[in-house]
A and B are shown apart, each in its own frame.
Chain A
Amino acid sequence: MIGIRIALAGNPNVGKTTLFNALTGSRQHVGNWPGVTVEKKTGRINRNGHTIEVIDLPGTYSLTAYSADEVVARDYILEEKPDVVVQVVDATHLERNLYLTTQITELEVPVVIALNMVDEAEATGCTIDRERLSSLLEIPVVRTVGTRGEGLDDLLDAAVREAKTSPHHEHIVGYGNEIEAMIASLVGVLAADKDLGDRYPLRWLAARLLEGDENALAKVKESPVSSRVQDILSGTDLDEYEAAMADRRYDVIAAVLPQVRTAGARSMNVSEMIDRVVTDRYLGIPIFLALMWGAFELTFVVAAPFVALIEAGLAWLSAAVAGWLGPAWLASLVGDGIIGGVGSVLVFVPNIFILFLFLSFLEDTGYLARAAFIMDRLMYAIGLPGKAFIPMLIGFGCNVPGIMAARTIEGEKDRLITILVNPFISCSARLPVYILFAGAFFGAAAGAVVFFLYVLGISTAIGSAKLFRHTILPGESSPFIMEMPPYRLPTVGTSLLHTWSRGAMYVRKAGTIILAGALVVWCLASFPFGVEYGSSESLAGSLGRLLEPLVAPLGFDWKIAVALLFGLVAKEVVVGSLGVLYGTGEEGDALSTALLADPGLSAATALALMVFVLLYAPCLATIATIRKEAGSWRWAGFSVAYGLVLAWTLSLIVGRIAPFFLGGA
Chain B
Amino acid sequence: MKNVIQGVFGAVLGALYTGFGALQIVAVFTGPAVPFVPASVFWGFVLLVIGAVLLRGARNLSRGLDDGIVFVNVGILLSVAFGAIALLAAGAGALEAAIAGEAWSVADAITPAAYLAVIGAAGSSRGAEGSSGGSVQHDATHP
Contacts and interface: CB of A to CB of B under 8 A. Distances in A.
Contacts of A373: 140, 142
Contact of B96 (A280, A305, A377, A483): A305
A287 B54 CA distance: 12
A273 B82 contact: no
Interface in A443-488: 451, 479-488
Contact of B137 (A278, A279, A483): A483
Contact of A302 (B46, B67, B92, B136): B92
A237 interface: no
Contacts of A93: 137
B53 A485 contact: no
Contacts of B53: 277, 283, 287
Interface residues of B, number: 44
Contacts of B82: 290, 294
Interface string A229-256: 0000000000000000000000000000
Interface stretch (A19-27, A138-146, A261-269, A499-507): A261-269
A42 to B, nearest CB: 29
Main secondary structure of the interface of B (DSSP, over half): helix
Contacts of A286: 45, 48-49, 52
Contacts of B85: 294, 297-298
Interface stretch (B7-15, B68-76, B117-125): B68-76
A120 B100 contact: no
Interface in B54-70: 56, 67, 70
Contact of B70 (A277, A482, A485): A277
A124 B137 CA distance: 12
B78 interface: yes
A269 B132 contact: yes
Contact of A481 (B45, B96, B141): B141
B142 A270 contact: no
A308 B100 contact: yes
Given A269-B135, A305-B92, A276 B70 contact: yes
B42 interface: yes
B43 to A, nearest CB: 8
A268 B135 contact: no
B35 interface: no
Contact of B130 (A271, A273, A486): A273
Interface in B12-52: 42, 45-46, 48-50, 52
A657 interface: no
B74 A294 contact: no
A283 B78 CA distance: 13
Contacts of B131: 270, 273
B70 A488 contact: no
Interface residues of A, number: 53
Contact of A308 (B73, B96, B136): B96
A38 to B, nearest CB: 21
Contacts of A305: 92, 95-96, 98-99
A294 B99 contact: no
Contact of A273 (B42, B46, B73, B140): B73
A298 B135 contact: no
B99 A298 contact: no
A123 interface: yes
A120 B133 CA distance: 9
Interface in B77-91: 77-78, 81-82, 85, 88-89, 91
A305 to B, nearest CB: 4
Contacts of B133: 123, 269-270
A515 B96 CA distance: 29
B142 A486 contact: no
B143 to A, nearest CB: 7
B23 to A, nearest CB: 17
Nearest to A93: B137
A301 interface: yes
Contact of B99 (A289, A302, A312, A487): A312
Contacts of A304: 92-93, 96
B134 A123 contact: yes
A309 B99 contact: yes
Contact of B142 (A124, A269, A287, A386): A386
Nearest to A121: B134
B74 A273 contact: yes
B136 A283 contact: no
Contacts of A92: 135-137
A358 to B, nearest CB: 11
Contact of B46 (A125, A294, A480, A483): A294
Contacts of A269: 132-136
Given A290-B49, A304-B96, A312-B99, A270 B140 contact: no
Among A276, A280, A290, residue most surrounded by chain B Cβ atoms (within 10 Å):
A290
A532 interface: no
A574 to B, nearest CB: 25
A485 B137 contact: yes
A293 B135 contact: no
A180 interface: no
Given A269-B134, A305-B96, A488-B135, A290 B89 contact: no
Contacts of A414: none
B76 to A, nearest CB: 11
B127 to A, nearest CB: 13
Contacts of A293: 42, 45-46
Contact of A283 (B56, B140, B143): B56
A628 B73 CA distance: 46
A272 interface: yes
Nearest to B137: A486
A268 B42 contact: no
A230 to B, nearest CB: 36
Interface string A313-329: 00000000000000000
Contacts of B93: 301, 304
18 contacts: A120-B134, A269-B136, A271-B135, A271-B136, A273-B73, A277-B53, A283-B52, A283-B53, A286-B49, A293-B42, A298-B89, A305-B96, A376-B142, A451-B42, A481-B141, A482-B140, A484-B137, A485-B137
Given A276-B74, A304-B93, A480-B141, 15 more contacts: A92-B135, A273-B73, A277-B70, A283-B49, A290-B50, A293-B42, A294-B46, A294-B81, A297-B85, A298-B88, A301-B93, A309-B99, A373-B142, A481-B141, A484-B140
Interface of B: 42, 45-46, 48-50, 52-53, 56, 67, 70-71, 73-75, 77-78, 81-82, 85, 88-89, 91-93, 95-96, 98-100, 130-143
Which 7 residue pairs across A and B have the least CB separation, nearest first? Answer: A486-B135, A305-B95, A123-B134, A305-B96, A480-B142, A277-B74, A124-B134
